[in-house]
Structure 1
Amino acid sequence: MDTIAITRQGKVRGRSEDGIATFLGLPYAAPPYGRRRFRAPEPVEPWDGVRDALEYGATAAKRPYRPPLDEIIPDPDRPGDDCLHLNVWTPAADDGARPVMVWIHGGSLRNGSNSLPLYDGSAFARDGVVLVSINYRLGIEGFGSFPDAPDNRGLLDQLAALEWVRDNIASFGGDPANVTVFGESAGAISIAALLTSPRARGLFRRAALQSGPPHTVSRAEGGRIVALMAKVLGVAPTAEAFAAVDRERLLDAQVEVTSKSNPIGGGPGFSIVADGEVVTGEVVMPEVELLLGYNREEYRLWFVPTGVVQKIGAVALRLAMLKLKIPGRVAKLYRSSRPGMLPGELLGEMANDFLLRGPLAKLASRSPKAHVYEFAWRSPVLDLGACHGLEIGFVFDTLRHNVELAGPDAPQHLADEMHRAWVGFARDRDPGWPAWDDSRPVMIFDRRSEVMHDPRAEELKVWL
């Protein structure tokens, strides 16, 4: 059945089924191409009549994940320039203002979109939450740092989407004063940056960061990938020069420059720039309550399918530790509790804590109220274990769309538990376990979940 909502830009037509109203592809900013390419997002032109919001919109310019990850991480590509849009799932019944959750997808700032079935918001709407999922510009279009263009255009897109939520979500049954942002990987890193942005003040009350720590770079560092791509393309490292290049050729150069990088091993990639204005580097919203966590074996997503975990020997381990500035005594500490572990797995365990567990613990300690979790359930697929991204289908209660990572028999009771925790955090400020304090309580999500205080304490101390 069709359902109509009224936004500030005009009327939109969605679909209502089984007590849930769905609106897809709602524009929150004008298409960022033509004269708007490499510019800050601009407002949508109002329209007359009723605009259909029945199908997912275009994805931002990108290429699929590299093999073999493309086999286990779906990344649909939908053509079109009108990529700055969002989706809304809301209870069809008019029961007053409801809590709102805004999802910011991950993908190393160069992959992903809001149109993955994994991100279907029906379960949140079923449980009384208005779920919004947003698109934003990716890769060189969204995060290339140029001397003649604003930095962090993809982050500016996210801010524009949150402003749209503030201005319009009441028409969809949501409470604009009760917004929780949540995201995974690059989405969580984006949220950490938003916490330092004066422009984000008042746009959300709570934030959940899944497998993504605070991380920004300088303008000089942010410009390095632009310089590398400019060399491949044979053009000047300016937005004006890049805007004159065919989009497919830009994507080819982007793939060439980033082909050997990953979040654990490093290499050329895209980052959020601390520009001192939009992203200050200092938290300006200390009142925001946090839900923070990581997966027990994040590294296995990159190390296992590619065979890296088998290729890293003792020498490569020592070289990687030198690169990451990890002292030898740390490897000895980790090895003592993991007898028989391969050098590649040992490196992954240390990188996991160095890049995620330690920084998130620091952030929790600085927050007035934070809840911390660890996702530990191990997928049987390709020996991926508790790898990066595995928890998303449990949080969204969409295990049917998570078979590539979790297999066909993932525990539904764990999805029920995690989804309930995220809803509880957004609705009642309480995911169901104690807030972080000196005893460092961590909810360990597994086949049998439990709260542990200061798990693997000696190892965590290394990174604090």
Structure 2
Amino acid sequence: MLGSTGCGAGDITGSVVETRSGRVRGSATDGVHAFKGVPYAAPPQGVARYLPPRPVRAWTGVRDAVPLGPTPPQPPTPPPLDFFAPAIPGADYLNLNIWTPEPGSTRLPVMVWIFGGGFDTGSNGLYDGHAFARDGVVFVALNYRLGAEGFLFLDDGIANIALLDQIAALEWVRDNISHFGGDPGNVTVFGQSAGAMAVGTLLAMPRAEGLFRRAIMQSGAGNLCYSTDTANEIGHRLAAKLGVPPTREDVAAAGVERVLAAQTSVMSDLARRPDPQRWGGEPGCRVNMWRPTIDGATLPSAPVDAITAGAGSDVDVLIGHNSEEGRLSLVPFGSLESVTDEELFTAMRLYRLPVDRALPAYRAAYPGAGPGALLAILQADWFYTIPGLRLADARTSAPGATYLYEFAWRSPQFDGQLGACHFLEVPFVFDRLHDRRMQWITGPNPPQQLADLMHRTWVQFAHTGRANWAPYETTRRTTMRMDLRPAAVDDPYPNRHLWDGIDLH
């Protein structure tokens, strides 16, 4: 299955690998082979943009897999966060990028990455898997449909297209990854933010069962899901904004650019009606217009309920969050210092917290923190920390292991105000501190020893399903705090009881 190869330092001669659809030729640098833009499903065209993925059509000859493939259609990301989503036009955006140390039959652990971006932005092109392959892992980064293409719900028997894309990609990995040196029986699926939400949701989806052995969730736990009523309302709002009947054929006929513009317009409408338990929009947060839908078929129930009932119980899980997630949505835009006490109160009320108890409790737990700093921590608790704890609690009797972490290193960027914000752990996990795109968030001299620790931990987990600290259980809630002086701490969640009984779906 393997053609000519060159593996010397700096060598760019590519290998040819056979897949079920045809042969692909990649490149090789410093002993690592890369194959980019490899399709795992047919290019969505016309109404197929809004339908489940179809098998990729076989090709003859050798397909070039050196440049990055096209990226999913999406609205532009505003600066300074536009580095998250480099855009590449083209129809074949249901594609994979693969890095491997040795194509062939070596049967190495496989790690499949699902990018974040609020389910409406992002691509696999930002994430370089060289360090994973260097350290004995076959790394795969997938693209999936975003926004309306991925999540449009019209109560017509079709739902969660983006998640079906991810399942199709995992099926492609199952069927083809051995040719790239990977073990299809040892797959870890991992992601950040919306990607972590997707991983948590895949744990609960019957069609994903058996496609992965381990799961890592970085800032997300499958907690953001829509009821069919809310999803249907948003789908009909989009069709009304387009001025078309609420059918997939009519939405598709409106064209990609009009749909993207309509998405942005509907998000603006929803932002005037903030509701964290539906679509977000609270102070300092964007509207999360697109989410998985609990449709009863592809996703039978809320992920945490399915996991409580035993879904994914044999999967080993590593889950965590960053200490000050919300600072990424506040600091770069100059909003941290302008947050008022009233906006902090409003966020607490929207989150359904008992403000009379919650406000003094947060102020006591974080003395000296102003309203903006407290809002950043509050957002971390709502979106990531508490849902992660609930997912871990749901697995207390699972045979698979469960480990928790907290990333606490504070970025020096923006005069130290960026802190331990959302996404900051990603360049450490990927051991890509030298990547200039990542230095926007890490600063110019981030600590390599922390990247060594985190990257090594993720690779070890992919190999063994174990981490070097105690597994999670409800009596101690042991959590590894990732910082310059990493330490396992017990129950570092001072305000978790305030969230008891609050719906975080």
TM-score with structure 2 setting the length: 0.87
> What SS does the aligned partner of 1:278 have?
coil
Give ranges in structure 2 of 5+ residues lacking alignment. Answer: 1-12, 272-279, 501-505
For 2:16 and 2:157, how far apart are their aligned partners in 1? Answer: 38
Aligned pair partner of 2:447 in 411, 415, 418? 411
Distance of 2:166 and 2:353 partners within structure 1: 35
Matching residue's letter, 1:396 = F
Distance 1:180 1:399 in 2: 23
Name the residue aligned to 2:497: 461
2:362 aligns with 334
Confirm whether residue 348 of structure 1 aligns to residue 360 of structure 2: no
Match of 2:10 in 1: none
Q: Which residue of 147, 155, 159 corresponds with 2:163?
A: 155
Deviations 1:141-165 (A, max 9, x none): 1112123462111111000000000
Whether the 8 Å CA contact 1:423–1:431 is kept in 2: the answer is no
Deviation at 1:386, TM superposition (A): 0.6
Deviation of 1:414 (Å): 0.5
**Aligned partner of 1:195 among 197, 203, 224:** 203
Contact 2:99/2:133 (<8 A) preserved: yes
Aligned-CA RMSD value = 1.7
Match of 1:442 among 476, 479, 482: 479
Match of 1:211 in 2: 219
Structure 1 residue corresponding to 2:346, chosen from 316, 319, 326: 319
Q: Give, in angstroms, the shift of residue 197 of structure 1.
A: 0.8
Opposite residue 230 of structure 1, the aligned amino acid is: A
- 1:14 deviates by 1.1
Q: Output the amino acid matched with 1:64.
A: P
Task: Give secondary structure in 1 for the equivalent of 2:26.
Answer: strand
Percent identity reads 46
Counterpart-to-counterpart distance in 1, 2:460 and 2:346:
44
Letter of the structure 1 residue corresponding to residue 424 of structure 2: L
Q: Does 1:226 align with 2:254?
A: no
Aligned to 2:252: 243
Aligned amino acid, residue 446 of structure 1: D
Pairwise CA distance, 1:95? 6.8
Task: Give CA deviations for 1:35-58 in whole Å, capped at 9, x if unaligned.
Answer: 522110000111111111111110
TM-score, normalising length from structure 1? 0.95
Could you tell me how far apart the structure 2 residues matched to 1:320 and 1:185 are? Answer: 20
State the partner residue of 2:405.
Answer: 373
Helix, strand or coil for the counterpart of 2:163?
A: helix
Name the SS for the 1:390 alignment partner: coil
Of 148-157 and 221-230, the range deviating more from structure 2? 221-230
Q: Counterparts of 1:200 and 1:340 in 2: how far apart (Å)?
A: 46
Deviation string, structure 1 residues 76-100 (Cα, Å, up to 9, x no partner)? 1000111101011001375721100
Are residues 1:390 and 2:424 paired? Answer: yes
Q: Compared with structure 1, are the counterparts of its residues 188 and 447 closer, same or farther at alpha carbon in structure 2 (3 Å cutoff)?
A: same
* Cα distance in structure 2, aligned partners of 1:417 and 1:102: 20
Q: Secondary structure at the match of 2:106?
A: coil
**Secondary structure of residue in 2 paired with 1:132:** strand
- Once the two structures are TM-superposed, the CA of residue 462 in structure 1 deviates from its matched residue by 2.4
CA contact (8 A) 2:189 2:216 kept: yes
Query: Residue 362 of structure 1 corresponds to which residue in structure 2?
Result: 390
| Bigger mean CA deviation after superposition, 360-369 or 119-128 | 360-369
Residues 25-424 of structure 1 correspond to what in structure 2 (within 5 A)? 25-70=37-82, 73-92=83-102, 96-116=106-126, 119-148=127-156, 150-215=158-223, 216-259=225-268, 265=285, 267=287, 269-281=289-301, 282-283=306-307, 284-328=311-355, 329-367=357-395, 368=398, 369-382=401-414, 383-401=417-435, 402-424=438-460
Corresponding pairs, count: 459
What per-residue deviation string (whole Å, max 9, x for no partner) do you get for residues 289-329 of structure 1?
A: 10000000000011222233333222222222211111120
1:16: Cα distance to partner? 2.0
> 1:262 Cα shift?
5.8
